[in-house]
């Protein structure tokens, strides 16, 4: 693994107010209304800096980033934000419910040496690299780069996974939590529930060393934050273009929350697809076009019934998915007609990649069928909801954090969660999944800690 190091985190001072009112979900799940709700609780909420303009997935006006940088420096000057007294790592626990069960996902806030994506050679072969698993978009990277230049800080952590096959790092992290009460406690309310956030400051050198040893030679798989890690690589190159950047420069360290794949609180939600904007689409035309590519089993009863059937109709196999037409309110389960349907087009891809339902969705359903045959070759519009209820809201013409809007929804593709093993296998093959292949729930909080890059 790249070098793991403690850091002197910037935090909200106790005098700044209730920490719950100062932290936020990540920028990329917020819209203007969500930002305003957070600022109404406390105008110093981190979102005032981290989300200088909306929508955040494209580059805004320079003045917005300049204002964010000025506000960040003001908060440091007047004590709203302050540097921690000593370098530390921070055990981090999120308590939440999913499908009726309560989970505790436990990891460690730390900083990690900034290195290019890809495997790196170690004493045992190739390991210890930082590996992406999803493709990225240009707009968010431009936005985050402008903000990083303005603030000279990393405002939110990258979510990093590591194999932890022996469970050493996970056990140590949970042992730290069992020894004492948390240093700080807060909560974030997302669209589903209130998620409890707890942190424990770790400054003991021996404990830090034990954690570093537990992660030796481990790969880091980026679970969430591909755009932001890519931005940090670009920011370091930007600094290097202006002169020498010393080996101990803060910009050579990236704040991450590292979570072992053996942690029992690790939960992946699905990322469904809602497609729209197709000029020649009808359910009948889609089924005709798809007949040679898929096998279907009709499901009556609407989207909720389709979601339940997707979980229960196991005889269709692991590669099953759901299709739903909003105009006729008809739905079905489907599977690819061929055993390896992407092999001819992508022979160079790993089998784990070709088996991804989201890859079949992008390259067969969207590109070969919807785009080529039902939209005159033009691009299809997407929305990426994570729950059936959100799919229903988009179907009603509502705008959500996943996209949508009036008259948007035509076809929904309902998928099962991408398996954790697929994330590991595709990443280790040095390949990228399609965008929005995974959703690790819940999101990490923004504003618990900030990493200065100067």
430: confidence class by pLDDT, cuts 50, 70, 90: confident
pLDDT tens, residue by residue, 282-340? 999 999 999 999 999 999 999 999 999 999 999 999 999 999 999 999 999 999 999 99
How far apart, in whole angstroms, are the C-alpha atoms of residue 424 and residue 113? 21
pLDDT tens, residue by residue, 106-141? 999 999 999 998 876 655 544 578 988 766 666 788
Domain assignments of the chain as residue spans, ordered by start: 4-268+439-452, 271-416
Q: What integer pLDDT is reported at residue 75 of this predicted model?
A: 98
Q: What integer pLDDT is reported at residue 126 of this predicted model?
A: 45
How far apart, in whole angstroms, are the C-alpha atoms of residue 194 and residue 116? 36
How far apart, in whole angstroms, are the C-alpha atoms of residue 265 and residue 195? 13
pLDDT tens, residue by residue, 334-380? 999 999 999 999 999 999 999 999 999 999 999 999 999 999 999 99
Q: What integer pLDDT is reported at residue 110 of this predicted model?
A: 97
Q: Report the predicted TM-score, pTM, of the whole model to 2 decimal places.
A: 0.86
pLDDT tens, residue by residue, 178-189? 999 999 999 998
pLDDT tens, residue by residue, 158-215? 999 998 989 999 999 999 999 999 999 999 987 778 999 999 999 999 999 999 999 9
Among candidates 402, 404, 407, 381, which has minimal Cα distance to 276? 381
Mean pLDDT of the chain: 92
Using DSSP's 3-state secondary structure scheme, residue 159 falls into strand
Q: Is 302 exposed, middle or buried (0-12, 13-18, 19+ CB in 10 A)?
A: middle
How far apart, in whole angstroms, are the C-alpha atoms of residue 446 and residue 38? 12
């Amino acid at each position: 693994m790249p070098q793991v190091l403690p850091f002197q985190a910037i935090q909200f001072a106790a005098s700044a107010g209730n920490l719950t009112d100062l932290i936020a979900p990540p920028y990329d799940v917020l819209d203007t209304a969500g930002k305003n709700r957070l600022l109404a609780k406390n105008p110093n909420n981190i979102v005032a800096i981290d989300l200088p303009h909306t929508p955040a997935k494209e580059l805004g006006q320079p003045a917005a980033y300049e204002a964010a940088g000025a506000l960040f420096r003001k908060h440091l000057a007047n004590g709203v934000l302050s540097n921690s007294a000593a370098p530390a790592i921070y055990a981090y626990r999120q308590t939440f419910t999913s499908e009726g069960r309560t989970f505790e996902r436990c990891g460690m806030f730390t900083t990690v040496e900034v290195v290019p994506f890809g495997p790196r050679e170690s004493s045992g072969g190739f390991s210890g690299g930082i590996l992406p698993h999803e493709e990225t978009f240009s707009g968010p990277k431009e936005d985050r780069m402008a903000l990083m230049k303005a603030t000279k800080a990393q405002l939110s952590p990258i979510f990093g996974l590591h194999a932890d096959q022996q469970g050493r790092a996970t056990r140590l992290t949970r042992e730290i939590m069992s020894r004492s009460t948390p240093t700080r406690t807060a909560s974030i309310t997302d669209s589903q529930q209130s998620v409890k956030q707890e942190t424990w400051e770790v400054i003991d050198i021996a404990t830090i060393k034990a954690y570093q040893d537990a992660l030796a030679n481990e790969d880091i798989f980026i679970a969430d934050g591909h755009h932001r890690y890519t931005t940090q690589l670009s920011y370091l190159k930007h600094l290097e273009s202006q002169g020498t950047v010393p080996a101990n420069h803060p910009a050579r360290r990236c704040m991450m929350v590292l979570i072992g794949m053996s942690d029992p609180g690790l939960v992946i939600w699905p990322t469904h697809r809602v497609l729209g904007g197709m000029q020649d689409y009808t359910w009948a035309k889609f089924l005709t076009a798809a007949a040679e590519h898929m096998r279907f089993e009709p499901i009556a009863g609407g989207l909720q019934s389709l979601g339940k059937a997707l979980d229960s109709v196991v005889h269709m196999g692991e590669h099953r998915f759901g299709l739903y037409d909003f105009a006729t309110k008809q739905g079905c389960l489907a599977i690819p007609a061929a055993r390896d349907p992407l092999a001819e087009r992508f022979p160079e891809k790993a089998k784990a990649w070709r088996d991804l339902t989201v890859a079949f969705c992008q390259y067969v359903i969207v590109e070969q069928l919807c785009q080529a045959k039902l939209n005159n070759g033009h691009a299809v519009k997407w929305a990426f909801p994570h729950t059936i209820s959100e799919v229903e809201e988009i179907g009603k013409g509502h705008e959500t954090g996943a996209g949508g809007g009036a008259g948007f929804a035509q076809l929904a593709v309902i998928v099962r969660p991408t398996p954790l093993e697929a994330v590991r296998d595709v990443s280790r093959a040095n390949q990228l999944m399609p965008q929005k292949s995974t959703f690790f729930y819940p999101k990490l909080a923004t504003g618990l800690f900030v990493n200065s890059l100067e």
